[in-house]
Amino acid sequence: MQAAITSPASPATVDFEAVKRRQQATWSSSDFAVIGTTLQIVGESLAEAADIRAGERVLDIAAGNGNATLAAARRFADVTSTDYVPALLDKASVRASAEGLRVRFEVADAEALPFADASFDAVLSTFGVMFAPRQDHCATEMLRVVRSGGRIGLANWTPQGFIGRLFGVVGRHVPPPSGLASPALWGTPAHLERLFGPHARSISAVPRAFNFRYHSPAHWLQVFRDDYGPINRAFAALDAGSQDALADDIASLLLAFNVAGPDSLVVPGEYLEVVVTKR
């Protein structure tokens, strides 16, 4: 998780394969599906924004537990769901089977997709591809595998929203690897224009909000410490006193964003709902 949203240092200074191995271990360290399933509404909204239609070939990248995957499959699209963490795809497969949805699941790296050029009518990712370390590679790969006139639909946390601010809080306690661009850059129109603009017929980036609904700040923190890999690993990297300090800072952030009053927790998390139409 990143605090800054500045450009990275020279790529030559970063061991990207080592970064990805650590990321894979992080996302495998807990049961992300506990949290991921609460975000299903984002996948449904994105499928509508990207105008997913029956029979279209759709690729979900960094699919996690499959929110955009299921949303596209419910619209009778021909869906291929990918992630580089097999355990996450296993959860998505169980969900698809429970609903009787036909989906192909394949382990794949967002930076080097194993698909031919122009293989898909639409490519989707909800809070997934934004965390890959080589952002230019991911954008290039998405543009490569989608046909001309096809759509790339993304849901990306913004730097000024709750999750973007959370990146900063965690980064002050557990600094991210040096030389990497912040994932929060994906939540800025200027960066999206840089990544996709030269190859885009149009780029729509609409601010949305996902409401995190929990009993209290303590409840949110317990769930995320247990089941959200980056938070789980951040606490594991600290001694007891430093863990308490991080917990206090996160609780303060939750209270600052809470719109539900003292008896519950409703925290709006701003994200950009992005649709890029390829030239």
pLDDT tens digits for 198-243?
Answer: 999 999 999 999 999 999 999 999 999 999 999 999 999 999 999 9
- Among residues 42, 15, 245, the alpha carbon closest in space to that of 125 is found at 42
Q: How confident is the model at residue 140 (pLDDT cuts 50, 70, 90)?
A: very high
Where residue 76 falls (left for φ over 0; alpha for ψ -120 to 50; beta otherwise) is left
What is the pLDDT confidence band of residue 10, given thresholds at 50, 70 and 90? very low
pLDDT of residue 235: 97
Q: Which of 28-37, 51-60, 100-109, 198-207 has the lowest mean pLDDT?
A: 28-37
Instruction: Say if residues 26 and 48 touch (Cβ distance below 8 Å).
Output: no
- How far is it, in rounded angstroms, from Cα 43 to Cα 109? 20
- CA torsion, ordered 34, 36, 40, 45, to nearest 10 deg: 160
Distance CA 165, CA 4 (A): 10
How far apart are the two ends of the chain, measured CA to CA in Å? 33
According to the model, what pLDDT value does residue 2 have?
40
CB 200 within 8 A of CB 153: no
Q: What percent of the chain lies above the pLDDT cut of 90?
A: 93
Does position 271 have pLDDT exceeding 80, yes or no? yes
Sheet holding 200-214, edge to edge: 103-107, 78-83, 57-60, 120-126, 146-157, 265-278, 200-214
Task: Give the model confidence (pLDDT) of 168-194 as tens digits.
Answer: 999 999 999 888 999 999 999 999 999
Q: What is the pLDDT of residue 8?
A: 43
With bands split at pLDDT 50, 70 and 90, how would you rate the model's confidence at 5?
very low
Give the pair of three-digit tokens for residue 237.
């990297």
Task: Please tell me the distance from the alpha carbon of residue 225 to that of residue 29, in angstroms, as a whole number.
Answer: 11
The string of pLDDT tens digits covering residues 101-117 is 999 999 999 999 999 99
Phi, psi of 24 (to 5 degrees): -60, -45
**Beta carbons within 8 Å of 101's beta carbon, 6+ residues apart:** 70, 73, 74, 79
Q: Determine how β-strand 57-60 pairs with β-strand 200-214.
A: unpaired
Is the confidence at residue 4, as pLDDT, over 90?
no
Scanning the structure block, which residue is given the tokens 């990146």? 167
Position 250 pLDDT exceeds 60: yes
Query: How high is the pLDDT of residue 12?
Result: 55
Q: How crowded is the C-beta side of 262, counted as CA atoms within 13 Å?
A: 0
Say how far apart CA 179 and CA 198 lie, in whole Å. Answer: 25
Please report which confidence band the pLDDT of residue 6 belongs to, taking 50, 70 and 90 as the band edges: very low
DSSP symbol at 118:
T
Would the pTM count as exceeding 0.75?
yes
Level-2 CATH architecture, domain 11-158+179-212+270-278: 3-Layer(aba) Sandwich (3.40)
